[in-house]
Amino acid sequence: MTAPHIIRHAAEYAAHLLGFSALGIAPAHADQGERLQNWLAEGQHADMEWMERHLPARLNPELVLPGVRSVIMLTYEYPRHDSRCTSGAVARYAQGEDYHKLLAAKLADIDETLSFYGGTQRCFSDSGPISERFFAAQAGLGWIGRNGLLIRQHGGSYCFLASILTTLELPYDSPVTNRCGNCHRCEQACPTAALKNGSCDARRCLSYWTIEAHQDMPDDIRAAQGNHLYGCDACQEACPWNTPRPGAPLRPIDPHLLMPATFAAMSSEKLSQLSQQEFEQLFAGTPIRRIGLEHLTANVRNL
């Protein structure tokens, strides 16, 4: 039987070759407390009912993968700057291609490596009933900040999270200290006051209203939309941990995640006039495509 630390090293090596910036491992049955249940009970998930449906699996990874022992968490960098050079800001994570598909192929390669050592895996990147931020914090990759995001001492919060549930028992990492201290800049920067006590109330969040919502934006939220076309990074922009430290090396960004020049330079007026065919061609294979032309056009009108 191969020693667990050797298997971990193999996974780390594969992850590095595939472009992941960090890997940490947490016990699959770590106690998640009642934070998520309380958030749902207060209705802060708005009309995202799938969160309630998946709650049992989120709290018990055994329901996702019977026999699971370890949760491998990985980070993958995305752009730190909005490439739009005209009106209508786009969240950094959605600048380029759809990260779900991009990371799925990479996770499949690590899955193959772990299978060689006798493991059975389930892999996700923001696509399954896994409390990824919780497990990322348990795996020592960072801490959950007041904006509800995972924040890393070296790297901040501009990263995707990916998870691999495995039946292999691997060496675990330890959580790190929360370094938000007395800083409340993210809460103060939120245009709609959606952040409170380390969580985000989707009912007030611009990311929810410009991406997930299936109803018209309330007047008070519309008044605060400002230049946000798709998503909102206000809390990340305000976070001091997202300011590169002097002398710190810049982590490379996958070219697939960079914004195409055509979209970067397209005016809001042109966006508001897109035909269905033009919309499909412009946003094929991107996160923006899933909100549809009607929702995008409504967002443009509100700018």
| Residue 254 is a catalytic residue | no
* Residue 255: burial class (beta carbons within 10 Å; 0-12, 13-18, 19+): exposed
What tokens were used for 106? Answer: 């990479």
Rounded Cα distance between 298 and 300, Å, is 5
Q: What residues does 165 pair with on adjacent strands?
A: 71, 122
- Vertex 113: Cα angle to 67 and 98 (nearest 5): 90
**Residue keyed to tokens 């495509």:** 289
Report the relative pairing of strands 89-90 and 228-230 from DSSP bridges: parallel
Q: Which of 126, 173, 220, 254 is catalytic?
A: 126
Nearest-angstrom CA–CA distance, 76 and 97:
14
Please answer whether residues 291 and 230 qualify as being in contact, where contact means their C-beta atoms are separated by less than 8 angstroms: yes
DSSP structural state of residue 152 = B
CA-CA-CA-CA torsion sign (83, 233, 19, 257): negative
For residue 61, give both structure tokens.
Answer: 């990874």
Q: Using CA atoms, how far apart are residues 122 and 134, in angstroms rounded to an integer?
A: 17
Alpha-carbon distance of 40 to 84, in angstroms, equals 35
Distance CA 15, CA 24 (A): 11
3-state secondary structure of 216: coil
Any idea which residues carry the catalytic annotation? Answer: 126
